[in-house]
Chain A
């Protein structure tokens, strides 16, 4: 069974600064996918960024980037130039590759961006 661990229940960052959210996971799979989801106070969960385990290059989406360390089973999210709209719960999630249905989520990190 896969497990996903987010060790930071809450974090805060000043507007325009950079913040990194941590995620580690445990799996015996070799092919899998990793995701960061964002849940703003309005509660609609949306995808921030995804990473395929077979790709060595770290994924980037505008101000969001990941640091994927496969050997260490680490998948951190970096948010640059933080904005007030980044205030949300962030969930790291794991999916065990094609043919699998399930997403396994971490417990989440509550990020507050301070003006």
Chain B
């Protein structure tokens, strides 16, 4: 089975802190995504990556950056956390842009910024 693992299920950080959310997938998938999930807003795409060191902005990239130094790992970085970034963050991966299959999701990280 494909496994997408997010490093933390719950995080509490202070305003202004630099925050790293880590995601690892074990099936050699090319494409990885970071979504933010808020009640009544659904899932909104923050960033995605289709290859190592490649990244593209999604719909709401402001206040975030990403890093993909290895194929299996995709990190979301909050350079200076703010209270409006309190949310659920979901990582996902898919095998290839040429063969569309289902997306595989991590279990989510609930981030609270105080």
Q: A103–B103 contact, CB under 8 A?
A: yes
How far is A106 from B40 in the complex, measured between Cα atoms in Å?
A: 10
Tell me the smallest distance from the CB of A27 to a CB of chain B, in Å. 15
Q: Which residues of B contact A91 (CB under 8 A)?
A: 42-43
Do residues B42 and A101 form an inter-chain contact, with CB atoms below 8 A? no
**Chain B residue at minimum C-beta to C-beta distance from A6:** B42
With contacts defined as CB atoms under 8 Å apart, how many contacts are there between chain A and chain B in the complex? 58
Is A56 in the interface zone, CB < 8 Å from B?
no
User: Which of A35, A42, A44 is B102 in contact with, Cβ under 8 Å?
Assistant: A35
Q: Which residue of A lies closest to B40 (CB)?
A: A107
Are A47 and B102 closer than 8 Å at their CB atoms? yes
A44 contacts across to B, CB distance below 8 A: 105-108
A103–B101 Cα distance when bound, in Å, is 11
Contact A45 B100 (CB under 8 A): no
How far, in angstroms, from A50 to B101 measured CA to CA in the complex?
9
Per-residue contact bits, chain B 90-113, to A (CB 8 Å; 1 contact, 0 not): 101010011110110111100000
| Size range of the chain A interface in the assembly | 20 to 34
B90 touches A45 (CB 8 A): yes
A24 in contact (CB, < 8 A): no
Q: Is B56 an interface residue (CB 8 A)?
A: yes
**How many residues on the B side are at the interface (Cβ–Cβ under 8 A)?**
27
Q: Tell me if B58 counts as interface (CB < 8 A to partner A).
A: yes
Collect the chain B residues with CB atoms within 8 Å of residue A47's CB.
Answer: 102-103
A residues neighboring B (CB under 8 Å):
6, 9, 33, 35, 37, 42-47, 50, 91, 95, 97-103, 105-108
24 contacts between A and B (CB under 8 A): A6-B42, A37-B103, A44-B108, A45-B92, A45-B103, A47-B103, A91-B42, A97-B100, A98-B97, A98-B100, A99-B97, A99-B98, A100-B100, A101-B31, A101-B50, A101-B56, A102-B33, A102-B58, A103-B45, A103-B103, A106-B42, A107-B41, A107-B42, A108-B42
B→A interface (CB under 8 Å) = 31, 33, 35, 40-45, 48, 50, 56, 58, 88, 90, 92, 94, 97-100, 102-103, 105-108
